[in-house]
Amino acid sequence: MKKLLILSFALLSLMACNKNKSGENPLLAEPENPYGIPAFDQIKLEHYMPAFEEAIRQQKAEVAAIINNQEEPTFQNTIEALDRCGGLLDRVNGVFFNVLEADGNDEMNEIAEQVSPMLSDLSDGIMLNDTLFQRVKAVYDKRESLGLDPEQMRLLTETYKSFVNNGAQLSAEQKARLMEINKELGLLSLKFGNNVVAETNAYQYFVKDEAELEGLPESAKAAAAEEAEAAGHKGEWLFTPKRTSFTPVLQYCKNRDLRKELLMAYTTRGNHGNANDNKDVIVKTMALRIEKAKLFGYENPADYILADCMAKDSKTVDKFLESVWTPSLEAAKREAAELQTMLDIDLPGEKLQPWDWWYYAEKLRAEKYNLNEEELKPYFELNNVRQGAFDLAHQLYGINFEKMDNMPVYNPEVEVFKVTEADGSLVGILYTDYFPRAGKRPGAWMNNILSQYIDANGVDHRPVIINVGNFNKPTKDNPSLLSMDDVETLFHEFGHALHGLLSKAHYKTLSGTNTPRDFVELPSQFMENYCYEPQIIRTYARHYQTGEVIPDSLIQKINNAGKFNQGFVTTELLSASILDMDYHELTSVEGLDVNKFEAASLEKMHMIPEIIVRYRSTFYNHIFTTGYEAGYYSYTWSAVLDADAFAAFKETGNILNPDVAKRFRHLLEQGGTRDAQELYLEFRGKEADPQYLLRRKGFIE
């Protein structure tokens, strides 16, 4: 999966102006548009540091006012006040970190390195302030007598837990050490991510002889030729470790050496012993995470992290992963044997290798199902697919999407959409940014620029949400054409966007995607189900040249092949989840050698050598930069939920059933205002059944 969601910093509300007085910092100015859209066209590098400094100063003053309040602590003057403070910093964070991730540069990286310890100090100064904690505790201790509604009770409980989980009950000496740890972890996270981007951008492989590209589709060759020309190598073909560049080579190129070259370039990023090597960063990160967990009385980081998730502890996660791992590995072994048979025909005596899997899987798919990805791509033009996702949201939830031209954007490739209810009232604003660039990190994700919340005057501030991807850029001859996997990615991230857009929480702390990590992937993965349904495919799959709706014969092929290669897909994913857990169940880094540790982890799970773990340690951004540590399992955990949730529609005979859709929208609107398990039980009427997922993948009948 693609799917990156959580930033290392809270990306909450943002408002900025479109019109700005000369010399005024646009990050600090009040908005002059009704949507809170930031003035990207006016923001310059020199605006960021003064904005951060002023925003931090303001939040410190707001928190000091709560601490120094001589009145008895109440829900309103302490808990609500904390949720509502820091608005300016939320806005500055929302601009800076979104641009850093999607369109960053060396100068922004330097600013991030300066800002990270400042933000860490601010957070620790709040969470570790004993006077403030005693006010929070005083309200918490009398919570049952306060007459709070369920959402207020949830905010109070989560606020108290946040203070405890961030060190409020530690000794003075422990608090001082925790502050040092948090500061160091923030800088290490930045360094890890920057190293991955630098490694990705540094590698270029030029092919001079077109004969070496035998089998590669013309569209992929055209894209590689344009990249080479842009790099000053006209008449050659350029390939990089970006998925849009090397994936077609793995799937179609007969040149085995080239397949190996590019796959190894991708899977060894951050592991070359140079300035961008991440092995030492990993060891230092894990040492600090272990020390932090032990400060809180936990044996390992996993149990400390999971205490606030649906799974609750590492043993539950390990048991869950094992239950899915066994059938997926067995399926992968059967698939490997089938691919080996095909390899034996081409290269007798050779052993199937990771760089052979995609190539022979594609040949086998064509042989078994008469289905070729290149045959599908002309029907999956990016704008049509996005419109299909919009149309689906309209059918399910009654909302509408309208493109907004001439809005400020941080890059010309970004587009903006206004989202409204049927009566015209505002739901929110959606930004989309779909193409790779040098300053963008790999993967796909959703973030908030402005979170939804209701202020003290009862005004509902609607969200500004962004979907980011790394899909194929248009070429001179063709628009952006997606693979079926890309289509799934777009629908996935759009599901996250709907979770943020439809939020109806009172408090920003609880709105949108502020849920347990092993629940947050449910809305996104739920949407993936629809992109394969025939009645939905017909709404977005139209030939980019003729406008012809995709033929039923191709739809049938897609569905016939739906369970194809699922052993590989699931094993690749689960191996990364298990590797994540192995790291975070460590109790010491003594003698930790990253490469040996990873190899031992894969050997322990009996990983077959024909498959490489989805994210090798040194470019595993999910667990070392984006807040998914001891949490990558959540994609599979949520897959059980999403398969079960989609079954609620299927069982009615109508995948757009309005009554079921109304219940699911209610789940989306709640954000983190209620217990995740309680929300799901209310929607489904029962606990999720794993059998739906196993059947969908073809692991059981």
128 in the same domain as 49:
yes
When pLDDT is cut at 50, 70 and 90, the band that residue 18 belongs to is very low
| Residue 189: both structure tokens together | 């996270």
Helix (H, G, I), strand (E, B) or coil at 662: helix
Residue in 500, 395, 404 with CA at minimum distance from that of residue 451: 500
Tell me, yes or no, whether 311 lies in a domain.
no
Residue in 187, 107, 193 with CA at minimum distance from that of residue 440: 193
DSSP state of 142: T
218 in the same domain as 132:
no
| Residue 117: both structure tokens together | 């310890």
Task: Provide CB contacts within 8 A for 134, sequence distance 6+.
Answer: none
Tell me, yes or no, whether 492 lies in a domain.
yes
Do the Cβ atoms of 655 and 530 come closer than 8 Å? yes
Taking the C-alpha atoms of residue 460 and residue 482, their distance in angstroms, rounded to an integer, is: 37
Taking the C-alpha atoms of residue 539 and residue 555, their distance in angstroms, rounded to an integer, is: 12
137 in the same domain as 79:
yes
Taking the C-alpha atoms of residue 414 and residue 435, their distance in angstroms, rounded to an integer, is: 9
172 in the same domain as 147:
yes
Mean pLDDT of 277-296: 98
226 in the same domain as 175:
no
State residue 23's pLDDT score: 59
Taking the C-alpha atoms of residue 108 and residue 688, their distance in angstroms, rounded to an integer, is: 44
Do the Cβ atoms of 242 and 470 come closer than 8 Å? yes
Does the active-site annotation cover 151? Answer: no
The type of residue at 419 is V
179 in the same domain as 154:
yes
The one catalytic residue in 80, 227, 373, 493 is 493
Q: Return the percentage of the chain with pLDDT > 70, whole number.
A: 97
CA dihedral (191, 485, 359, 232) positive or negative? negative
- Residue 251 structural domain: 203-267
Do the Cβ atoms of 685 and 525 come closer than 8 Å? no
103 in the same domain as 249:
no
When pLDDT is cut at 50, 70 and 90, the band that residue 6 belongs to is very low
Last residue of a domain, one of 236, 267, 298: 267
Taking the C-alpha atoms of residue 565 and residue 53, their distance in angstroms, rounded to an integer, is: 52
Cα–chain center distance at 32: 31
DSSP states of 198-252: HHHHH--EEE--GGGGTT--HHHHHHHHHHHHHTT-TTSEEE-SSHHHHHHHHHH
Tell me, yes or no, whether 627 lies in a domain.
no
Mean pLDDT of 67-93: 97
When pLDDT is cut at 50, 70 and 90, the band that residue 17 belongs to is very low
**CA-derived radius of gyration, the chain:** 25
Tell me, yes or no, whether 170 lies in a domain.
yes
Place of tokens 């100063």: 57
The type of residue at 168 is A
Do the Cβ atoms of 694 and 563 come closer than 8 Å? no
Distances (CA, A) of 134 to 67, 122, 466: 10, 18, 38
Tell me, yes or no, whether 478 lies in a domain.
yes
| Residue 92: both structure tokens together | 């500055």
Query: Which CB contacts under 8 angstroms, 24+ apart, belong to 665-671?
Result: 665/396, 665/397, 665/502, 667/523, 668/498, 668/499, 668/502, 668/503, 668/523, 669/502, 669/503, 669/504, 670/504, 670/505, 671/499, 671/503, 671/504, 671/505, 671/510, 671/511, 671/512, 671/513, 671/514, 671/515
Domain count, the chain: 3
Q: How many CB atoms lie within 10 A of CB 552?
A: 11
Which residues, in sequence order, are bridge partners of residue 672?
none
207 in the same domain as 112:
no
Last residue of a domain, one of 224, 244, 267: 267
State residue 701's pLDDT score: 77
235 in the same domain as 120:
no
242 in the same domain as 171:
no
The type of residue at 107 is E
pTM of the model: 0.91
382 in the same domain as 499:
yes
Tell me, yes or no, whether 12 lies in a domain.
no
pLDDT at 13 over 60: no
pLDDT at 609 over 80: yes
pLDDT at 64 over 60: yes
208 in the same domain as 168:
no
Do the Cβ atoms of 24 and 44 come closer than 8 Å? no
CATH number, position 76: 1.10.1370.40
End-to-end CA distance of the chain: 25
pLDDT at 493 over 60: yes
pLDDT at 16 over 80: no
**Tell me: the pLDDT tens digits for 325-373?**
999 999 999 999 999 999 999 999 999 999 999 999 999 999 999 998 8
| Residue 299: both structure tokens together | 């044996």
Taking the C-alpha atoms of residue 700 and residue 33, their distance in angstroms, rounded to an integer, is: 54
Taking the C-alpha atoms of residue 178 and residue 291, their distance in angstroms, rounded to an integer, is: 9
Instruction: Please classify residue 91 by burial: count the beta carbons closer than 10 Å to its beta carbon, then call 0-12 exposed, 13-18 middle and 19+ buried.
Output: buried
Could you tell me what percentage of the chain is helix, strand and coil, using 3-state DSSP and rounding each to the nearest 5?
55, 5, 35
Taking the C-alpha atoms of residue 671 and residue 505, their distance in angstroms, rounded to an integer, is: 7
Do the Cβ atoms of 523 and 464 come closer than 8 Å? no
Taking the C-alpha atoms of residue 621 and residue 606, their distance in angstroms, rounded to an integer, is: 24
Mean pLDDT of 453-469: 96
When pLDDT is cut at 50, 70 and 90, the band that residue 7 belongs to is very low
Category of 627 on φ-ψ map: left (φ > 0), alpha (ψ -120 to 50) or beta? left
Distances (CA, A) of 214 to 248, 259, 326, 338: 12, 12, 38, 24
State residue 15's pLDDT score: 30
φ, ψ at 460 (rounded to 5°): -85, 110
Last residue of a domain, one of 250, 267, 284: 267
Mean pLDDT of 556-578: 95
Do the Cβ atoms of 540 and 491 come closer than 8 Å? no
**Tell me: the pLDDT tens digits for 625-639?**
988 999 999 999 999
Do the Cβ atoms of 225 and 237 come closer than 8 Å? yes
Mean pLDDT of 211-234: 96
Q: Which residues of 343-373 are buried (b: 16+ CB within 10 A; e: fewer)?
A: beeeeeeeebebbbbbbbbbbbbbeebebbb
Instruction: Please classify residue 208 by burial: count the beta carbons closer than 10 Å to its beta carbon, then call 0-12 exposed, 13-18 middle and 19+ buried.
Output: exposed
State residue 520's pLDDT score: 96
Tell me, yes or no, whether 318 lies in a domain.
no
Tell me, yes or no, whether 248 lies in a domain.
yes
Mean pLDDT of 211-240: 96
Q: How many CB atoms lie within 10 A of CB 19?
A: 11
Q: Return the percentage of the chain with pLDDT > 90, whole number.
A: 93
